Structure 1
C-alpha cells in the first residue's frame, strides 16, 4: 500500500496488483535533480501512464498526491487514511487470494477523490504536446513557446521549465531515452537496463553528476549543483549510448532477476 511515501514506497508497491493511496500519500522521483535516473522499474511504469504524463513526472521530479496517483494509474484505489485499519483488518480476515474478491474488499473502503484545481493532471493537453518531443531540447523549447502564448498556465509552465533547467543535463538525456525504450520493454528488461545505467552513473566515466548532486542536496545542502557537462548541447547521442552499454569489466555482470514468486497477487503491494 502507498501511505506517506516518496520513491522508496513507490518502488516497493507499484509493481503489485493493488496499490492503495490516501490523502496523505506523496509520490515523487526527483532523481534527475541528483544526477541519477528514475529507477526501481520507473522506465516501465512511468512509460505506461496516460499520454506522456510519465515523461513529465520522471523528468521534472513532480510531486504527485494520492488523488493524482489514482488518476494517472500509479494507484489502483484511494482510501481515506482513517479507513486503513479497517481495510487492513478486512484483508487479514479474508481467506482467499482471488483478485476479484480482494478488489471488491478494497473498493468497499475506497472512493474517488477530487483533483486539486492546480493539479498537473489538468495540464495533459500541454504535457502531451510538449513531452512527446524527441529530445530534451525540443521539450523545453515547446514549453517555452507555450509559456509565451498561454498566460493562464504561465506559472505552471514556468515552474516546469525551471525544474528541467535545474536538473542534470546528462540525467535528463539518459532518463528520456530510458523512458522511451521502456515503452517497448517488459518490466524485467527495464530493471536490468536501469541497473546497467546506474552502474555507469556510479562509475562516473562520462559525468560525475551523481556525486555532485549528492553533495549539493544531501551533504552541503546548498542546492546549487555544478553539472558537468553543464549544457544539454554538450551531450551527444554517443555519450548517452555509453550508459546503455555493458560495462567493460570482467568482474561485472548484468542484474540477474530471481524466478517469479508465487505470492498472492496482493502480497507485494502490501510490503
Structure 2
C-alpha cells in the first residue's frame, strides 16, 4: 500500500489534469496501523533490514506527501492511528469528523512516534505534542481541530457532498479549497473532560527536561487534586516502554528545530536502531504483548527509566554502524510549496 501510494502521489505531481488529491479510508477506519506487526515478524525472523527497509519506503512517501505540489484534502473519518497518519496529517487540509479518533500509540509498543510525527507533534500548541506522543493520548475530532491536527471539522453525513463540491470546484487554489470545505464545516464543542481544557497543566508538566521530571511533576499535581485525567496519564507513561519514552521525548524536542526532511532522516536512524535491537528489544516485545498474544503485559528491558543512560539514548540518534546500510535519502523536490514549511 505504501509503495502504491508513493507511485500515485508522484504521478499526480506530474499530471497537469490533477488539481487536488482527496485521501480517505475505506471502511470504518481511516487507518489503524497494522504495519508494525509485519515489521516485528521480519525482526523475529532475523531480518531487521527487511523491517527497516519498509520504514525507508514509508518515510519517503511521508516526505513526498509533506512537500507535494498539489493540495491534499485528507478526510479522517474513523480511527487515525500510526502509519496512516503519515499519509494524511502532512497534507494541506485535514478534515476530522465526529467519528475521528487519533493516536500515536507507539510508546506502548516499544517504538516511538515516527512517520514525521516529531515534526507535527512538536508544532502543536505549547507542549501538547509531548503529551500526545509520550502518553499515546487518544483525541477525538473536536480535539484534533482544537490542537491543529485537523484544519476542519465536518459531520460524516456531509462528506459525500463535500467531495462532490471539491470535485466540482476543480481548483488547486488553497483559498478556493478552504472556502469550499468551510461551507460544510462547523466548530464542535470540546467534551468537559477534554485534555484541551488542561493546556496549563500539560505545559507545566510536559515542558520538563526529562521523562523522570515529567512524571514527578504529574505526580505532584495528582497529590494536590483528584483528577482522573492525571491518574490515567501517569498510568499510561508508567506502562509504556521506558526506552521508548526516552527516545521519543528527545525526538520531539529535536523536531521543534528541524524541517520535515531532517525529522524523517533522524527518525529513520532511530527506527533502524529499534529494528536492530542492540540497546533494547522492546519493539518486538510490545508487538507480542499488544498485537499478537494480546496479554497486554509486556516485559520491558530495561525495565525502568533510571536504567537507561544518555549513551544508550545517543545510540538511537547515531548513524547505523553497518557497511551495507545507508541513511534515508530523500528525493529532490522542485516544487516545494510554501505551506509545507510552516504548517500546523
Q: TM-score normalised to the size of structure 2?
A: 0.75
* Cα distance between partner residues in 2 of 1:110 and 1:53: 24
* Cα distance between partner residues in 2 of 1:22 and 1:260: 32
* Cα distance between partner residues in 1 of 2:265 and 2:278: 19
Larger relative strand fraction: 2
* Cα distance between partner residues in 2 of 1:53 and 1:190: 18
Query: In the alignment, what sits opposite 2:217?
Result: 142
Equivalent residue for 1:82, pick from 145, 149, 157:
157
1:106 has 2:163 as partner: no
The correspondence of residues 130-209 of structure 1 with structure 2, limited to 5 A, is: 130-151=205-226, 154-209=227-282
> How many Å apart are 1:219 and its aligned residue?
1.2
1:230 has 2:303 as partner: yes
* Cα distance between partner residues in 1 of 2:323 and 2:134: 33
* Cα distance between partner residues in 2 of 1:264 and 1:129: 35
* Cα distance between partner residues in 2 of 1:213 and 1:7: 15
Q: TM-score normalised to the size of structure 1?
A: 0.95
* Cα distance between partner residues in 2 of 1:256 and 1:25: 33
* Cα distance between partner residues in 1 of 2:337 and 2:214: 41
Contact 2:122 2:255 in 1 (8 A): yes
> How many Å apart are 1:6 and its aligned residue?
2.0
1:9 has 2:99 as partner: no
Query: In the alignment, what sits opposite 2:312?
Result: 239
CA offsets per residue over residues 199-229 of structure 1, 9 Å max, x none? 0001000100001101111111100000000
* Cα distance between partner residues in 2 of 1:113 and 1:9: 24
Tell me which moved more, 90-99 or 232-241: 90-99
* Cα distance between partner residues in 2 of 1:223 and 1:261: 46
Query: In the alignment, what sits opposite 2:62?
Result: none
> How many Å apart are 1:93 and its aligned residue?
1.2
1:50 has 2:136 as partner: no
> How many Å apart are 1:74 and its aligned residue?
0.3
Please state whether the residue corresponding to 2:278 is helix, strand or coil.
Answer: coil
> How many Å apart are 1:29 and its aligned residue?
0.6
Equivalent residue for 2:142, pick from 67, 75, 93:
67
Contact 1:35 1:170 in 2 (8 A): yes
* Cα distance between partner residues in 1 of 2:282 and 2:83: 21
Contact 1:99 1:265 in 2 (8 A): no
> How many Å apart are 1:67 and its aligned residue?
0.4
Q: Taking CA–CA contacts closer than 8 Å with sequence separation of 6 or more, which of the two structures ends up with the larger relative contact order?
A: 1
| Structure 2 segments unaligned to the other structure (5+ residues) | 1-73, 340-344
| Structure 1 segments unaligned to the other structure (5+ residues) | 267-271
Contact 2:107 2:134 in 1 (8 A): yes
Please state whether the residue corresponding to 1:19 is helix, strand or coil.
Answer: strand
Query: In the alignment, what sits opposite 2:100?
Result: 25
> How many Å apart are 1:262 and its aligned residue?
5.0
* Cα distance between partner residues in 1 of 2:234 and 2:248: 16
Query: In the alignment, what sits opposite 2:13?
Result: none
Q: Let me know the Cα RMSD of the aligned residues.
A: 1.5
Contact 1:36 1:171 in 2 (8 A): yes
Query: In the alignment, what sits opposite 1:269?
Result: none
* Cα distance between partner residues in 2 of 1:40 and 1:17: 16
Please state whether the residue corresponding to 1:47 is helix, strand or coil.
Answer: helix
Contact 2:141 2:153 in 1 (8 A): yes
